[in-house]
Amino acid sequence: MVSVQGAVFYDEDGGGQLDGAESVRMPNLTVSIGGRTTVTAAGGRFSFDAPEGAQQATIVESSLPIGWQVTALNVTLPVNGELLLPVTVPIGRNKPNVYMAFGDSITAGDGSRSGDGYLAWTQDLVRGYWGRASLVNDGVAATRSDRGNERLGASLATVRPAYVLILYGTNDWNSSSCRDSFPCYTIDAIRAMIGQVKAFGSVAVVGTIPPVNPSLLDRDAENRNAWVKRMNDLIRPMVKQEGAALADIHAAMLEAPVLSDLFFDFLHPNDSGYEIIGREFARAITAPRGTSATSGGL
């Protein structure tokens, strides 16, 4: 056995070599060399003993988040210096480390003191975990999921994001066709958005529909939240089937001791609610593929 030290880095240009601008490092990935494994620590670093001689070095795919890929390297141990292992996100000409938040007024941040809603939480968490992240807000108030599907193509072409964080469906309740003819267009619209994102070369991360404030009974909160639950029961398996990452915002918010404490008004979260949404999107972005909807990652 020989001692091996190194790091796993995001190879933004796919060149296989660490370039000066490539600052993202990947923690919590399982490195495998010669049948021996270890898990990368903060900063993507690893150190362990592996067999001497010609070996294959790779990352166990199940430890990678959705959208990430790895190519195994042939190495001869011991190596002179650090062993740097690249991972990539095949996003074509899109912009590495750019995340587009795409949705309605909840994405726009209505009800938050800063006006940024959940974006700052997600950006700071992912940036602290991987080293870089820039979120672009593309929330348009009062839009429904069918309108989101219509406007997505132009947004993708303008921003060219690596990731798209889709949070739509809340306003669909306002359409009589959705209340009277479940599940109306919501599932098809979100599925179509996932398809557009993937065709554009970006990674889709889909949030379940948040609940509404249960304390305002005059707004038919009970029936509306029942509708949200039924819709999310369809969204979860659809997102998995389409190969997107799931941010289970609905489940995360329901874990709060008092749900009504998470709201600014009937519909929009307050800062506490937005923190939960931001953390759940960050978790979904970084979680190993194959983990449950509310485990793994940040």
Residues 66-83 pLDDT 10s? 999 998 999 999 999 999
Tokens, residue 156: 């993708």
Q: Domain check: are 58 and 149 in the same one?
A: no
pLDDT reported for residue 291: 72
Terminal Cα distance for the chain, rounded: 33
Q: Which residue has the tokens 């994405």?
A: 107
Would the pTM of this model clear 0.95, i.e. be above it? yes
Alpha-carbon dihedral 85, 89, 90, 92, rounded to 10 degrees: -110
pLDDT average, residue stretch 183-197: 97
Chain centroid, CA 109 distance in Å: 18
Tokens, residue 99: 């995340």
Sign of the Cα torsion 236, 187, 148, 152 reads positive
pLDDT reported for residue 115: 95
pLDDT average, residue stretch 263-269: 96
Q: Domain check: are 68 and 116 in the same one?
A: no
Q: Domain check: are 191 and 46 in the same one?
A: no
In a domain, 261, yes or no: yes
Domain C-terminal end among 71, 88, 105: 88
State the residue range of the domain holding 216. Answer: 95-286
Tokens, residue 236: 């979860």
Q: Domain check: are 82 and 104 in the same one?
A: no
Q: Rounded to an integer, what distance in angstroms lies between the CA atom of residue 259 and that of residue 47?
A: 44
pLDDT average, residue stretch 92-105: 98
In a domain, 297, yes or no: no
pLDDT average, residue stretch 177-181: 87
Q: Domain check: are 132 and 27 in the same one?
A: no
pLDDT in tens, 123-166: 999 999 999 999 999 999 999 999 999 999 999 999 999 999 99
**Total domains in the fold of the chain:** 2
